[in-house]
Amino acid sequence: MPSAPRDSTPSFRDEELLADVIAGLIGNARHAAIGASSPIPAAAALLARARGHGQPQVSLLGSRRQSFFTDGGRELFDCAGQGRIDVFFLSGGQIDGEGNINLVGIGDYAQPTVRFPGSFGSSYLYYVVPKVILFRLEHSRRTLVAKVDFVSAPGTSPDNVHRPGGPIAPITNRCLFAFERQRRRFALASVHPGHSVAEVVDNTGFAFDRPPDVPVTPAPSPETLRLLRTVVAAQLTEVYPRFVAEIFGAPEPA
C-alpha cells in the first residue's frame, strides 16, 4: 500500500494540490459554475481557465468580475436546466457509498442531533449538470458514511429516469475517488502525498473498489503553482481575500 512521506518543507500546500486535481477533472468543459463558500473549487476552475486560455467559462457566485450572472442563483438554475453548465460542485454533511449527499441533518428528521444548512438546489443540480464533483475536506467515518441519514440529493436514479447529470468523482483531503455510475459505487483513484491506502480505508465508512496498486496523486507542476500564485490568486482575491492571504500570500507578479 503506497504512502508517499511528506517532505518537512513541502513545495506546495494541500489546497494547491486539490485545486490542481480538480482542474484536471474539469477538463475541457465549456462552463464551470461554483456556488458560495467554495474557494478551492473556485481556484480550480480559474486554474483550468488559465490553462485553457479562456476556456472554460467560469461563473463564480458572489463575484462581479468572474460571472456573467446578474440574478444570482436563479440564473444558475436556468442555465443548468438548459444544459449550459457542464461542471458544478456539491458537498454534504454526509456522503455515502452510493453518492447520496445529506445537507439536512443527522438523526430523526423531526428532532435531529445535528442540523445542516439545507438542500437548497442540490437535488436539481445533481440531476441536470453532467459533471458534478463532490468535495469534502474532512475525510472521516462521520462524513463518509455507509448510508446518509437523509437524502438531500441521490447519487443515482432508476434506469427509466432521464438524468443527464450526476457525480463523476469525490475528492477529499486524503484521496481522489472515481464514481462508477452503473455499479453505484466508488473506486479509489489515487491517494494524496503523505497519506496511505490503509489510512483511507480506516477513515471511510463505506466499501469501495481499488486496484492492486493505487497511485499517488501527482504533485502540482511548477507551472501550475505559478498560475495559482499569480493569475488565480489575483482573480480570487475579490471573493476570497482571506483564503488568498492564508494560502498564497500577496499574489506574485505574473
Question: pLDDT of 193-213, one tens digit each?
Answer: 999 999 999 999 999 999 999
What's the pLDDT at 74? 86
Q: Is residue 4 part of a domain?
A: no
Cell, residue 55 = 476556456
111-114's contacts with Cβ under 8 Å and 24+ in sequence apart are 112/149
Ranges of beta strands (E only) in 7-130 are 31-34, 57-60, 87-90, 94-96, 101-102, 105-107, 112-115
Interval 88-108 mean pLDDT: 97
| pLDDT score of 3 more than 50 | no
Whether residue 92 is contained in a domain is answered as: yes
- Evaluate whether residue 168 is within a structural domain: yes
The whole domain housing 189 covers: 14-247
Q: How many domains, in total, are found in the chain? A: 1
Query: How much is the pLDDT for 252?
Result: 67
Give a yes or no: residue 9 inside a domain: no
Provide the percentage of residues in the chain whose pLDDT is more than 70. 94
Is residue 67 domain-resident? Answer: yes
Percent of residues, the chain, with pLDDT higher than 90? 83
Q: Give the pLDDT band (50/70/90) at residue 7.
A: very low
Residue 189 has pLDDT above 90, yes or no: yes
Among 21-30, 71-80, 158-167, 223-232, the range scoring the smallest mean pLDDT is 71-80
Indicate whether this model's pTM tops 0.85.
yes
Across 24-43, average pLDDT: 95
The CATH number of the domain where 134 resides is what? Answer: 3.40.1080.10
Average pLDDT, the chain: 93
> Mean pLDDT throughout 109-132?
94
Q: Is 9 a residue whose pLDDT tops 50?
A: no
In a domain, 1, yes or no: no
Residues 100-126 have a mean pLDDT of 94
Per-residue confidence (pLDDT) for residue 5, from 0 to 100: 47
Is 6 inside a domain boundary?
A: no
Specify the 3-state DSSP secondary structure of 241: helix
Residue 91 lies in a domain: yes
Assess whether pLDDT exceeds 70 at residue 99: yes
What single-letter amino acid sits at 41? Answer: P
Which of 71-85, 88-102, 132-146, 148-162 has the weakest average pLDDT?
71-85
In order, the DSSP letters of 116-158 are -S--TTHHHHHHH-SEEEEEES--STTTEESS-SS-SB-S---
| Overall average pLDDT of the 110-125 stretch | 93
**Contact 171/134 with Cβ under 8 angstroms?**
yes
Residue 8's pLDDT is what?
43
With beta carbons less than 8 A apart as the criterion, state whether 43 and 232 touch: yes
Per-residue confidence band for 73, with pLDDT thresholds at 50, 70 and 90: confident
Closest residue by Cα to residue 227 from 2, 4, 23:
23
